[in-house]
Amino acid sequence: MQPQIDSRHLTQPHSMIATQLADRGVSIVPNAIPSELGMALWREVTELDDAQFQAAKIGRQRLEQHNRFTRTDSICWIHGTSAPCIAWLAWTESLRQTLNRELFMGLFSFESHYAHYRPGDFYKRHLDAFRGEANRLVSVVLYLNPGWQPDDGGELVLYPRDGEIHEPIKVTPSFGTLVCFLSEEFPHEVLPAKRDRYSIAGWFRVNTSTASRVDPPR
């Protein structure tokens, strides 16, 4: 039986994340979540059966397709059926409320999945959302890799926004590090690693439901 996690007492650096998003469009926070929750999520993802993962696709809905030239990771969607996932979704819900209150973003919902990159796996440069064409506004990545060393590889690379002259930002996937960035503005990629690399990838979304279409579709 998994231990219960009391999400009411989780550390919440949410206002700092909001400030960094407003200033730079990206926020990188080491040890963003309590180690208790991080370890519970790490134990869960590493104990999942291989059959619970699926090869990741690119594109959305009818345009989804496998493309091993673009990405080679595997994913397992989070539905909030375990104590760690319930606590994680409670933490992100609190973040959603903070971002809406402080930045007036109109975020409506959140979706996320576990991601497993085996040694050598990658995800080439891409955008999570194209401006004006999607409803993902803020991308979220939480790393679940205890003892990760810089020479293990697997960095997330965030490229500058159009018109800005800056060096790309490289983020080591160290345990507990949380990265948030504006989905429409930062092309990014995941470099190959030398060992198994685990994370949670998620997106805050706006609501684009219509009379004939319910969104989000999952």
pLDDT interval class at 63 (50, 70, 90): very low
Task: Please confirm whether the linkage preceding 216 is cis (ω < 30° from 0).
Answer: yes
**Domain ranges (residues) in the chain:** 7-53+67-205
| pLDDT 10s digits, 173-183 | 999 999 999 99
What pTM, to 2 d.p., does this model score?
0.87
Please tell me the class of the 7-53+67-205 domain.
mainly beta
Torsion on CA atoms 131, 56, 206, 79, rounded to nearest 10: -170
Tell the residue number behind the tokens 């200033």, with chain if given: 23
| pLDDT 10s digits, 125-170 | 999 876 665 689 999 999 999 999 989 999 999 998 765 657 899 9
- Containing H/E element for 124? strand 123-126
- 3-class DSSP state of 203: strand
| pLDDT 10s digits, 21-30 | 999 999 999 9
Tell me the backbone φ, ψ of residue 8, rounded to 5 degrees.
-70, -20
List the beta strands (DSSP E) in 144-187.
156-158, 169-171, 178-182
Closest CA to 174 of 31, 47, 17, 13: 31
pLDDT at 211: 43
HSE-up of residue 86 (Cα within 13 Å, Cβ side): 10
